[in-house]
Amino acid sequence: MIDFPKIATVILKAIAPAFLIVSFVSFVSGCGGSASSGSTGAAENANILEVLNTSTSPINQATLPSGTDSISMASFWEKQVLSGFTKTGVLKGYGYEDFRNLTLLTVPSSNPADIKSTLFLITHPDHKAQTGDIVTISNVTQNALDVPFALLNNVFEISRRDANSYFIKVPFATNSREIFLLKANLAYKYQECVGVQTVTQTVAAPTVPVTIFDGYESMVAKYSVENSLNGCSPAMASFTTYKYFAVTNPRPGFSLKYPLLGQKVVNGDFASFYLPFDLPNTPVKSGDTGSIGTLKYYKSSNKAFLTGSSLLSYEILKYTSNAVFIAIYVDTYNDNYNLLSKTTEIYGKDPKLDKDYKLIRTTVKYNNPRKNEVIIE
């Protein structure tokens, strides 16, 4: 059982300024929140996730065709505000730890049945890894016995032996069984939590009496998140926020309907836009970028004590000539403007299967010593 402060606190505390913010730019029809589209989450989006994994690196982006699509971010936003949603996604929490300039006792132990690889036993006292965790080995400059050093500078899945050693599978068959000293840098990716997140937003509606938010008449929607986690304590957690949407766009000359004015987290911060919320109403094309707005957080609605801020922006990434990936970025800071987290939501569609865009992955990376990361698909 992973101790609560290790990852669950990160998920629960940072999720409020991150996921609650990002969720209101979940503008795609029939999809919303930080949870993945569809009742089966990542399984439903397997094809598009595989494409996403191989296409969104800067190198691959340079090789893909420029694309356009008729999707209007503004029109999908308006549909979501008036429709509401309930969505579920698989949540995974990770921690990272780096070790530099290590010298580790290592020995080739056996050859798997494929006869093309070797299991290496690495001794690293108190490595903290479990079977299935990931280690990235780098800065190996000498061959390991007869194994070319380039093959050791790679990413490996760990098979845990005990608290002080584990096996990795190296893609080279050696018959040597001599102990040697592996001099390298090691970067671990530990999976600390697995669970399910369910996100629900009600239809935004006027209230009686009229709700005024920051001086503007508003419609109100209730936004709820339920997390069920394995590997963290507590196993169940939830929170609620209320979102406030302008009945009429308060910015002269701007056409976006129902722009978000702000939100109030139950037993949490009050937030409102310092720089106004906006989305483009023209068809998107790869290479487009822009600002969505700046949100300020306060202890209460009197705005006497600033607690942090978030900068929201978007980028249209290449995919095909007639489909794109839509990336929404949220950078969240504390009251001293130190970075707390970077959130990315990716929307996409399989041109052969999907009519509409849908949220396929949310990633939150935290700027803490353990570099925690939460991925929802």
In whole angstroms, give the CA distance from residue 37 to residue 343: 18
- Provide mean pLDDT across the span 152-172: 96
In whole angstroms, give the CA distance from residue 223 to residue 24: 9
Under the banding of pLDDT at 50, 70 and 90, the label for residue 151 is very high
> Is the pLDDT assigned to residue 170 strictly greater than 70?
yes
What pLDDT sits at residue 282?
A: 82
CATH assignment of 95-191, among 3.40.50.970, 3.40.640.10, 2.40.30.20, 3.30.420.40: 2.40.30.20
What pLDDT sits at residue 302?
A: 92
> Is the pLDDT assigned to residue 6 strictly greater than 50?
no
What pLDDT sits at residue 359?
A: 84
> Is the pLDDT assigned to residue 122 strictly greater than 50?
yes
What pLDDT sits at residue 44?
A: 64
> Is the pLDDT assigned to residue 30 strictly greater than 70?
no
What pLDDT sits at residue 266?
A: 92
Dihedral sign from CA coordinates of 68, 70, 71, 73: positive
- The residue whose two tokens read 């439903």 is 44
What pLDDT sits at residue 18?
A: 39
> Is the pLDDT assigned to residue 62 strictly greater than 80?
no
- Provide mean pLDDT across the span 218-229: 93
- The residue whose two tokens read 């106004």 is 276
Under the banding of pLDDT at 50, 70 and 90, the label for residue 31 is very low
What pLDDT sits at residue 275?
A: 76
Domain with CATH 2.40.30.20 in the chain: 95-191
Give which of 78, 14, 24, 13 is closest to 295, Cα–Cα.
24
What pLDDT sits at residue 45?
A: 72
What pLDDT sits at residue 252?
A: 83
Give which of 242, 302, 245, 236 is closest to 266, Cα–Cα.
242
Q: What separation in angstroms does the CA of 10 have from each of 14, 94, 248?
A: 5, 10, 37
Mean per-residue pLDDT over the chain, rounded: 84
Around 15, how many Cα atoms within 13 Å sit in the side-chain half-sphere? 26
What pLDDT sits at residue 118?
A: 96
Under the banding of pLDDT at 50, 70 and 90, the label for residue 24 is very low
In whole angstroms, give the CA distance from residue 108 to residue 142: 16
> Is the pLDDT assigned to residue 369 strictly greater than 70?
yes
Residues composing the chain: 377
What pLDDT sits at residue 213?
A: 95
The amino acid present at 313, given as its one-letter code, is S
Phi, psi dihedral angles at 7 (to 5 degrees): -135, -35
Under the banding of pLDDT at 50, 70 and 90, the label for residue 1 is very low
- pLDDT: which is higher, 290 or 325: 290
> Is the pLDDT assigned to residue 360 strictly greater than 80?
yes
- Provide mean pLDDT across the span 213-228: 93
> Is the pLDDT assigned to residue 22 strictly greater than 70?
no
- pLDDT: which is higher, 154 or 84: 154
